[in-house]
Amino acid sequence: MKDKELIWESYENKIIEDIKDYLYNSEGYDSWNDFVDDQSIGNCQSIVSDIVRNFPTVKKVFGEIKVDEPYIDEYGEEQNLVTHHWVTIMGKPYDFSKGTLKDYINFDDIYNPVIEDPSIYHGF
């Protein structure tokens, strides 16, 4: 079992770094942090589409994510969920577009695509 865990960890680290490198380089950024810092609400769909188009083993997920504080939507109604896109790699969720939610969620590490609290993600 230990060997499988090491293989998975090695694969996980490699594909995460490959995706990050692809995203920031293909968009002309100097670093992953610059790419994340420049994300804005609505970019998650194109980011995830770009990932799954270039990494066929990665699967797209569309759903909602629970925000830290309720907000008032364009119809004047209070909301505590925002629609969002993220991915799964071998069934495990990752979010390469956390920067799109910086106004709604205070992530422990916005630059790490590993999802710290999967309970706030609700996929359809």
Give the model confidence (pLDDT) of 48-75 as tens digits.
999 999 999 999 999 999 999 999 999 9
Residue 55, domain extent: 2-123
Amino acid at 68: D
pLDDT at 72: 92
pLDDT averaged over every residue in the chain:
93
> How would residue 3 be classed by pLDDT, with cut points 50, 70 and 90?
confident
pLDDT at 33: 97
**Average pLDDT for residues 32-46, to the nearest whole number?**
97
> How would residue 1 be classed by pLDDT, with cut points 50, 70 and 90?
low
Query: What does DSSP say about strands 92-94 and 121-123: parallel, antiparallel, or unpaired?
Result: unpaired
Domains: count for the chain: 1
